[in-house]
Structure 1
């Protein structure tokens, strides 16, 4: 059994809440929440890939959250 399988699942609604700081120029917080530190740093340094990555996240954040939860349930991440 993995240490990750005992952690509670991530919530896509909360991930969207963490995306709100993007509106004032702090992009990528949602990726830190999901445990994607490298992607969060890239988003932070490039202002969400000049906004394009943030728009992409608006449409895919639920899927990204499900993927993170599935990987954690399997003990992969």
Structure 2
């Protein structure tokens, strides 16, 4: 299977679009980097009367990095283009309607796949949820006595032991 191409913007392309100001097309570089509102503002105000257009000469590399990072995060990819999570999990992470109950089910499946024991880091990797969400959910399960807590004998890492698994 071929690796997916990353839809990224490039600094050189942004600078070429910045040159659109010579044709009175200010803000094209901003639109290219996902800053639609400010790009339209630049277009209507001649690049904020030239001042904003000149400032963007310095800001373009940061704009490109910010846009590329946002795109990679949406695609569930690292900075080098390696998938960081299962696409199904990635889709659920970006769905704000994921409930606590759904996270509990994901944690149970992850623990089942790991012999009934799970660290917070393993849970984050397996569910795609944030550290804070995973830790809060595991503590909630600990209070209900469905999960016991222990430390790994060698590393001292906190391990959640799912008693029924």
TM-score band, normalised by shorter chain: 0.7 to 0.9
Aligned length in residues: 72
Alignment root-mean-square deviation, CA: 1.8
- Structure having the higher helix fraction is 1
Q: Gapped runs of 5+ residues in structure 2?
A: 75-165
Q: Using the alignment, how far apart are the partners of 2:28 and 2:8 within structure 1?
A: 17
Rg larger in structure? 2
Q: Could you list the runs of 4 or more consecutive aligned residues of structure 1 that deviate by over 4 angstroms after TM superposition?
A: none
Residue in 2 aligned with 1:68?
67
Bigger strand share:
2
Higher relative contact order (CA 8 A, sep 6+): 1
Partner of 2:29: 30
Q: Which runs of 5+ in 1 are unaligned?
A: 1-5
**Separation in 1 of the partners of 2:32 and 2:54?**
18
Using the size of structure 2 for normalisation, the TM-score is 0.41
1:35-50 maps to which residues of 2 (within 5 A)?
35-50=34-49
TM-score normalised by length of structure 1: 0.83
Give how far 1:71 is off. Answer: 1.1
- Aligned partner of 2:16 in structure 1 is 17
Could you report, residue by residue, the CA deviation over 1:5-41 in whole angstroms, capped at 9, with x for unpaired residues?
Answer: x642110100100111102322001111112111111
